Amino acid sequence: MMLSRVAENIYWTARYLERVENTARLVAVHSEIRLDRPDRAGFFWEPVLTITETLGEFEARGLRRTERDAINFLLTDLQNPSSLLASCVYARENIRTLMEILPRESWEAVNGLHHAAARPGAGAPQQRDVYLREIIERSQAMVGLFLGAMNDDAGYAILRQGRAIERSNFTVQVLRDALVRIGDGTGDMQALRAAEWVGVLKSLTAYQMYRRSLRGPVTRVGVSRFLIFSQVFPRALAYCVNEAGQALGRLPNADLPAAAVARLAGELDAVERTGAEADGIGDLLSAAQAQLSDIHDAVCSAYFTPFTEVPAVAGQTQAQPA
């Protein structure tokens, strides 16, 4: 079995790389919506800050509620530990310590990702789309590198575990925000609300697969059920929970985290079979997020040595050295 420090660094490498891609796609989709809905009331970037759970820090620092300040904070502000660039820095530092475990090409790949993320002025409107597309492509290339060049052993199981937890937590965050912010609407508002739900799907690269799976209009209930219960879409909550369980099956001493995963999987299965009421979806997601935190804590307890705690996003604690 690998050293606990090595396992921890692999786990957080997976989470940070997933976080980079998630942030890039979220900002890209909301930038597109911004062009379609320039008249939307309120601070346009508040939903993105809410999803990334950084709204409190953004306001505490006295930053202006403008697109420029919000984009800089989300993409390149190293004082924001959840920014895209900060996540690249953390992933790069972890991979530096894993040269004997991860494919050697991953060091070159993460340096390329970091260089792209740190490019000056990339968040400006005229450069943002190209910048974010490159970040997403480089992040996905690293996922493919790990899939095709790592032994399917304990190290890869830990990497799968980190990716599944980060991905499922992001899906829950996106969907919780959408349920509060978007309804179904009637008349002219129905078309606008449907466009907002399409944006939710695109934030999770889910629109095409949703259309393949479901017929009819894009609705709150349809999107919610697909993103929660799909067993075939890789970013759906149920799929990610199953992925976490399969990864734990490749690891020793997995009783505690495996039990936490089984509880959440069982609850999702029960709710799907009985049929979730539209008004109950929010409660289900709140409970799921708490249980994802339990799974994270159980994984940390089983495989990582405690270190000084530093903040991480999504209501979880990173057990990395300060």
Please state, in angstroms and rounded to a whole number, the distance separating the CA atoms of residues 27 and 47: 10
Please state, in angstroms and rounded to a whole number, the distance separating the CA atoms of residues 44 and 54: 15
Contacts of 65 (CB under 8 A, 6+ apart): 43, 45, 46
Count the helix, strand and coil residues of the chain and give each as a percent rounded to the nearest 5. Answer: 70, 0, 30
* Backbone Cα Rg of the chain: 19
Mean per-residue pLDDT over the chain, rounded: 90
The predicted-structure confidence for 180-203, as pLDDT tens digits, reads as follows 988 665 554 666 788 899 999 999
| 311 or 78, higher pLDDT | 78
CA 90 to chain centre: 16
The predicted-structure confidence for 69-86, as pLDDT tens digits, reads as follows 999 999 999 999 999 999
Q: Which residues pair with 310 in a beta bridge?
A: 318
Give the pairing type, strands 310-311 and 317-318: antiparallel
pLDDT of residue 276: 67
Mean predicted confidence (pLDDT) in 245-256: 96
The predicted-structure confidence for 214-234, as pLDDT tens digits, reads as follows 988 899 999 999 999 999 999
The single-letter code of the amino acid at 63 is L
The predicted-structure confidence for 136-175, as pLDDT tens digits, reads as follows 999 999 999 999 999 999 999 999 999 999 999 999 999 9
> Could you give the percent of the chain with pLDDT greater than 90?
79
Cβ–Cβ under 8 Å, residues 139 and 117? no
The predicted-structure confidence for 273-284, as pLDDT tens digits, reads as follows 887 666 789 999
The predicted-structure confidence for 38-61, as pLDDT tens digits, reads as follows 556 678 999 999 999 999 999 999
